[in-house]
């Protein structure tokens, strides 16, 4: 009987852990693009800026905004606007390969990419 209770407890704990992980993912990722959202931007950006101060390592932050995005939604429909955002997220994801943090928000029609610049770092040491 104790073995059944322990097995059931482990199963319930595993389901609870999975649900917590899922809820955390929903809280910090854009539901349309799957990109981490602005909440997850602050920690890596703060770290990158601290590294810039301490080690003289330049950091690049790219902010993209889609001009007149509302017109795309109005003229072609929200599904086409969503398709554009997903395509943009896919292209940015391929450009900002890990471990470069890429953050985005379809709701805000914007994405961020913070990257320590190796080329700039090499140039600054010469």
10 in a structural domain: no
Domain coverage including residue 46: 31-125
Q: Are 92 and 80 in contact (CB under 8 A)?
A: no
Q: Select from 30, 106, 115, 110 the least CA-distant residue to 63.
A: 110
CATH of the domain at 35: 3.30.70.270
| SS3 state of residue 14 | helix
1 is written with which tokens? Answer: 């009987």
Q: For the chain, how many structural domains are there in total?
A: 1
Q: Are 95 and 35 in contact (CB under 8 A)?
A: no
Residue-wise pLDDT tens for the chain (126 aa)?
778 889 999 999 999 999 999 999 999 888 888 888 877 777 777 877 887 777 777 777 777 777 888 899 899 999 999 999 888 888 877 776 565 556 665 555 555 554 444 443 333 333
75 in a structural domain: yes
User: Distance between CA atoms of 4 and 2, rounded to whole angstroms?
Assistant: 5
Residue appearing with tokens 């001009």: 67
pTM of the model: 0.60
């Amino acid at each position: 009987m104790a073995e059944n209770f322990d097995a059931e407890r482990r199963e319930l704990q595993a389901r609870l852990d999975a649900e917590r992980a899922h809820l955390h993912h929903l809280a910090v990722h854009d539901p349309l693009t799957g990109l981490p959202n602005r909440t997850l931007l602050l920690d890596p950006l703060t770290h990158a800026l601290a590294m810039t101060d301490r080690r003289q390592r330049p950091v690049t932050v790219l902010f993209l905004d889609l001009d007149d995005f509302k017109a795309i939604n109005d003229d072609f429909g929200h599904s086409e606007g969503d398709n554009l955002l997903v395509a943009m997220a896919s292209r940015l994801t391929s450009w900002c390969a890990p471990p470069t943090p890429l953050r985005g928000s379809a709701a805000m029609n914007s994405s961020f990419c913070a990257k320590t610049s190796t080329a700039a770092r090499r140039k600054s040491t010469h």
